[in-house]
Structure 1
Amino acid sequence: MALTKAQMAGWGLADMGVNVFVVVKQLLVFTFLTTFLGVPPGVAGLVTFAVLAFDVVTDPIVGYLSDRTNSPWGRRVPWIASGAVILSLSVVAMFAVPVGLGWQANALWVALFFGLASVGFTFVAIPYGAMAGEMTQDAAERSTMMAFRMTFASLGLLLAGALVPALAGDSRAGYARAVLVVAPVVVLTIWGMLLATRRAPQIAAPATEGFGTVLAMVLGNRPFALMVLLYGVLTLGVALIAAGLQLAALYLMTNTGGPLSGLTGALGIFSTLFAMFILGSVLSQFPWVWAGARCGKVSALMLGLGLYVVVLVCVWVSLPATGVSLMAGLFLLAGVANGAYQQIPWAMYPDLMDVTRARDGAAIEGAFSAVWLFGQKIANALAPLALGLILQAAGWQPSAQGVVEQSPQALAALRIALTLVPAAIFILGAAGLWWVYRPRARHVASHR
């Protein structure tokens, strides 16, 4: 049965709320710890790594259990509905750090509620990703679903990434107030998705295979396992940019006038540039669908990665920047490139999932979703740790009072870590896609 546009768009709606948390964990936590809570960058990176590494452990468990869930609402709804509430409340608590604690207690407070939020996120993300394999087996419908999903994801990124820093200002109390504004979006959009897709096709019967059998089936799908690895590599590059982007706006860019000076004065440099990035991502979603149908999904993804590398080199040349106009244009192009990274692999992996279902007859979409997110969560855990260690080695000075003076060596390390290092990672990932993945996945029609 063909999906309606309302069902495809409704499924994508949840990613708006999901990406509120993505912004928090990838863009805000590291800066919040090092700039407002006095936590040394190496420790801040370790805190983030430990929480996200724990999150990796919970993924296969939730994927396995959601496949085996038997409820009147189906296999996925109980997990997603409860996870949205846990996630929303934990994000609020994470930034409500009591005043007067030492930096060690500050770090522990954030780690505890960050960990609880990550559990809620897993409850949502794993079953949600599995729905893409259950609702349709049509590759064209999946591409459209992913375009809607990434459009809503971009709006969530814009809401949290641009609005939260703008509302927060330059104080720790401001962050606590700001997340209260966006936290309801998490619940409303995720529950809204469940309402919009309540009549969409689903596999209600719980899976019966054991954990070891399920894992062997998933990893036995070699093209899928290879795509998990390669997309994890690409995610490391994106996560490294995200972890230090706000620091770059604080330390490597100043607003000295120009066409966008009014907007920058109202929103701040970070929020303005992030808004341009999201605009590029939103505008590029359906063009990337067209490109994938025209020349194949792998080729379209390669084009996006190539654009990403060029833009990052241009950003490296342009930093430090005394105006935002040129940087805004580069961030717009970076958003276009990131649109390919966001959408195309997410449309590819359910196609690979179909191979196992056709071969073994097992409805284990939750397990596939868990493994699919595994590489990405490892990358998201490693990126802030790597950035923290790089900055610590370069002599970066932590602060509890906002921006403080940094040495030229520390600023140079930040500049390279956010541009040339991710560019090299994208080149490595693109080479793996073209020369390793593509020959092994020829039997899967990448643009059916």
Structure 2
Amino acid sequence: MPTWRYSIGMFGLAIPINTIRVSTLLFYVDILGLDVRAYGTVMAVYAVLDAVDNPVLGHLSDRTRTRWGRRRPWLVVGAVLLTAGLVGFFWAPSTLDGVALVAWFAFFAILCEAADSMYAANYNALLPELFRDEHRRAGANSLRQAFQLIGFAIALAATPALTTSVFGAEDSPSGFRTTALLYAGLALAALLFMALNVREDPARVAEGHDGFLTGARVILRNPHFWLVGLATACYLVPLAFVLAGVQLYVKYSLGLPVANSLWLIGSSIAIAAVALPVWTGLVRRRGAPFAWRLAFVFLAGGFVPFYLATSLASAIAGLGVVALGWSGLLATNDLIQARVVDDDIRRHGQHREGLFLSAFGFFSRLTGATAGIGLGSLGLLFGYYSGNDPGPDPGAAFRVAVGVYPFVIAVLGVILSLLIRVPAAGTEVPATASSEPGTPARSARQTARPRTVRAGRLAKGPAPRHDEVP
């Protein structure tokens, strides 16, 4: 499958879900009057549901056997549900209020996130599956992240202008409806264009697998799953706070029209895009773990000037440093997760990319719940409950929401990244990677010999070492 065609799937995936994330507070809370506490509750409840459906979808994908392969049927269904859910999400009748409004919001939020999980679980599983060595994998990941940044530019930067100026007004929902239809058509075309050209390895399609509970136990007992997963959350949760609160940060903290979010978000995306090939080059020279750790430092450091900003120019400068870290994590985080999957294959001799990467998806799904709880706390701390009841100082509320909360979580990510000993890349371990000083190196064949599956149980072979090989 051509790298560019695989990568364009990320463009279609980025548009719907990020449009929802960046506009939910403005559309439902500030315009339609949904209580921010209801918003936080829905996002927290969804995190529990998503913790179950994400790995289940990945496991079902790994075990799917059709003439079209394992991944393609799920990709097609997920694409249709996701784009249909995007339209429904922003076509909430203006007459809805109270419980009815909460119910509409909850139904379409959950539908969109579930469809996003369905598509993303299968799409992400294809990265280590189609691109076996880290050099090719880094190139494919860099290209798909570039397409994602284009999707971000549309979903995040263009949306405020389209919804409040081009197709609608500052306090009207009409612009969101037209924008949703436009985005749904664009995203569906990209998602299906990628999905209908997937060509999987026939040997992997025919491969046998342990049951869901056996596979889940193996993953849950893997310390790298927990450590890398928590680090992933520490990268995504700060961004979720920014995406959810940036438009109201511009409105209340900077005292500017919401449409100015275009310049703030657009400049950050441009910085991330320009820096992406630099980070990819650093990965190829110094290895993914080094670049990953450095990116966390930039991410955390940028929230300090962003919190202190008092003008659009200073906010752009602060968020620009955050964008440098974001770009580095786009270039590296999926490679770190792929190394953990490679290590699982070396240990157990099974390709369960769908289940493993979907299990990692549990940590990424913590973003919505954590951001929801954090934003819900603005009522308790600052008296901001909705656009109809903003409290005495909404500017301070959203400065904390997009500056303080993300900084604390990103600092935790820096600490975790420094403590984690990242596994080697690839399903074959180099002989030098298994040697301690003064110990003769074992051959790659000896080191990488997988365990064999017998009658549903794992027969233990020599366990490979996990020395970090950048």
Counterpart residue number, 1:67: 62
- Structure 1 Cα separation of the partners of residues 48 and 207 of structure 2: 28
- Structure 2 Cα separation of the partners of residues 398 and 126 of structure 1: 34
1:368 aligned to 2:356? yes
1:407 to 389, 392, 397: 392
- Structure 2 Cα separation of the partners of residues 140 and 348 of structure 1: 13
In the superposition, the TM-score normalised over structure 2's length comes to: 0.84
- Structure 1 Cα separation of the partners of residues 306 and 286 of structure 2: 29
Counterpart residue number, 2:335: 347
2:317 to 321, 325, 329: 329
For the structure 1 residues 210 and 345, does the alpha-carbon distance in structure 2 shift closer, same or farther, using more than 3 Å as the test?
same
- Structure 1 Cα separation of the partners of residues 414 and 297 of structure 2: 8
8 Å contact 1:139–1:447 — kept in the other structure?
no
**CA displacement at 1:195 relative to structure 2:** 4.1
What residue identity is the alignment partner of 2:324? Answer: V
1:277 aligned to 2:277? no
- Structure 2 Cα separation of the partners of residues 202 and 227 of structure 1: 29
- Structure 2 Cα separation of the partners of residues 440 and 291 of structure 1: 18
- Structure 2 Cα separation of the partners of residues 53 and 156 of structure 1: 28
8 Å contact 1:8–1:145 — kept in the other structure?
yes
**CA displacement at 1:227 relative to structure 2:** 0.6
Two-structure CA RMSD over aligned residues (Å): 2.3
- Aligned pairs for 1:200-279 (under 5 A) are 203-205=204-206, 207-254=208-255, 268-279=259-270
For the structure 1 residues 58 and 439, does the alpha-carbon distance in structure 2 shift closer, same or farther, using more than 3 Å as the test?
closer
Residue segments in structure 2 that go unaligned for 5+ positions in a row: 165-169, 425-432, 434-464
1:17 to 12, 15, 19: 12
Structure 1 moving runs of 4+ over 6 Å? 199-202, 439-442
What residue identity is the alignment partner of 1:419? Answer: G
What residue identity is the alignment partner of 1:420? Answer: V
8 Å contact 2:122–2:354 — kept in the other structure?
yes
- Structure 1 Cα separation of the partners of residues 63 and 284 of structure 2: 35
In the superposition, the TM-score normalised over structure 1's length comes to: 0.88
What residue identity is the alignment partner of 1:438? Answer: R
Once the two structures are superposed, residues 281-301 of structure 1 have per-residue CA deviations (whole angstroms, 9 ceiling, x without a partner) of 111211111122223322212
For the structure 1 residues 271 and 103, does the alpha-carbon distance in structure 2 shift closer, same or farther, using more than 3 Å as the test?
farther
Counterpart residue number, 2:454: none
Q: Which moved more, 1:289-298 or 1:157-166?
A: 289-298
1:38 aligned to 2:42? no
Once the two structures are superposed, residues 341-383 of structure 1 have per-residue CA deviations (whole angstroms, 9 ceiling, x without a partner) of 2231111111221112122111211111111111110232221
Counterpart residue number, 1:417: 401
- Aligned pairs for 1:42-441 (under 5 A) are 42-169=37-164, 170=170, 171-198=172-199, 203-205=204-206, 207-254=208-255, 268-319=259-310, 321=311, 324-399=312-387, 406-408=391-393, 410-435=394-419, 437-438=420-421
- Structure 2 Cα separation of the partners of residues 364 and 416 of structure 1: 40
**CA displacement at 1:27 relative to structure 2:** 1.5
SS at match of 1:419: helix
**CA displacement at 1:407 relative to structure 2:** 1.6
Once the two structures are superposed, residues 240-261 of structure 1 have per-residue CA deviations (whole angstroms, 9 ceiling, x without a partner) of 2222111101112245xxxxxx
**CA displacement at 1:159 relative to structure 2:** 0.8
8 Å contact 2:307–2:403 — kept in the other structure?
yes
**CA displacement at 1:446 relative to structure 2:** 6.0
For the structure 1 residues 201 and 446, does the alpha-carbon distance in structure 2 shift closer, same or farther, using more than 3 Å as the test?
farther
- Structure 1 Cα separation of the partners of residues 174 and 43 of structure 2: 21
**CA displacement at 1:206 relative to structure 2:** 5.1
Counterpart residue number, 2:23: 28
**CA displacement at 1:52 relative to structure 2:** 4.1
**CA displacement at 1:165 relative to structure 2:** 1.9
- Structure 2 Cα separation of the partners of residues 445 and 177 of structure 1: 53
What residue identity is the alignment partner of 2:300? Answer: V
- Larger Rg belongs to: 2
SS at match of 1:311: helix
**CA displacement at 1:185 relative to structure 2:** 2.1
For the structure 1 residues 132 and 20, does the alpha-carbon distance in structure 2 shift closer, same or farther, using more than 3 Å as the test?
same
**CA displacement at 1:84 relative to structure 2:** 0.2
For the structure 1 residues 200 and 71, does the alpha-carbon distance in structure 2 shift closer, same or farther, using more than 3 Å as the test?
closer
What residue identity is the alignment partner of 1:191? Answer: L
Counterpart residue number, 1:7: 2
8 Å contact 1:48–1:384 — kept in the other structure?
yes
Percent identity (aligned): 24
**CA displacement at 1:126 relative to structure 2:** 0.6
